Structure 1
Amino acid sequence: MKTAYVFLANGFEDVEAVTPVDYLRRAGVKVSVVSLEGSEVESSHNLTIRCDCTLDDVLNAPLPDLVVLPGGMTGTKNLAASEDLRKFMKKMMDERRFIGAICAAPAVVLGSWGLLDGRTWTGYPGVGSTLTPRPGKERVVVDGHLVTSRAAGCAEEFSLVLIKLLCGPESMRKVADAILAREEEA
């Protein structure tokens, strides 16, 4: 069974976190929602999520097949401030595991750690405009094992691309059909 972690910090963007969790689970992926600390995390719109575990719980566990980093400016700044998460994500990159980052997360988290260097990526307009290379304007960009996306309005498409890469096009199609995804997103 494929595994995924969705890392949350206070101030995360609701749709960008919950959509990948839901869609990946529909595809049969064992998804763990991981907080930086504590069992509950509050979103940028006051939604409280009870997490499955904390970063400390997973630091010495086998790496998952995928990590998802949702946006939300406050949440991404909180993620970026974690040295343990930086080391974990560096390991994910080094081992070429899938990484999905959406909205502010590509620039604020991965970019601040130098993990976008030499990569093609996208993110929320204006965030990361000082990084080189600059973000693209595509809704979802796949560069090897790195998947980036622009914003909450792209969360469905982003999640379906993650499923396609992790589980294959047939699994992605089944989830897309079950949720009545728009054809251009599937």
Structure 2
Amino acid sequence: MSEINYMETGRLEAFYDAIIAIIVTVLVLELPQPASASLASIWAIKTSYFAYLISFLVCTNLWQYHHLIYHHVEKINAKVIWLNILLMLIVSILPYLTTFVANNPFSFLTQVLYGVDFLLINVVLFMMAKLLIKINPDQDFLKDALDIKNAIAIPSLLFIVGLVGAFLGYPILISVCILITIVRSILFSLR
């Protein structure tokens, strides 16, 4: 591939930032208002707050991860752009799935769809990191981003644990496992 096919990252980063900002805004706008100004009314919609928290953390973790990676990337190509577009497609479904899972927290189907979206995000991020390493071979930091154990294996294992729990009658365990994965990822990034 010739040098002419490579691009700088600035426009992609700006696009990504804008999409994440819109998704986070839609997430908060989808939160239902309590029926009255009482703690009981607020507690009645606790599943909406729980689903919002998970989705918000997914979005902010993605933003932080994207920022961290692209700080070290010098060039991208059309494949990277299209992987980012695919990533944005998958992430943009989060507000819909958040409302769906908040309204049906004990539904096997809603929890599985929510979990699959999260798993697809991790797969696309892994593919993107692998491609970025190929395009930017001198960036050793990117090789750390391609940690199969942290990027794919642990989130997949936790999703399977949640899925097994869902089959056993505890569908909300999928959301709990996603939350554990996100918190783990945030703590890992703070090191």
When the two structures are superposed, what TM-score results if normalisation uses the length of structure 1?
A: 0.30
Structure number with the higher strand fraction is: 1
When the two structures are superposed, what TM-score results if normalisation uses the length of structure 2?
A: 0.30
Higher relative contact order, chain-length normalized (CA < 8 Å, sep 6+)? 2
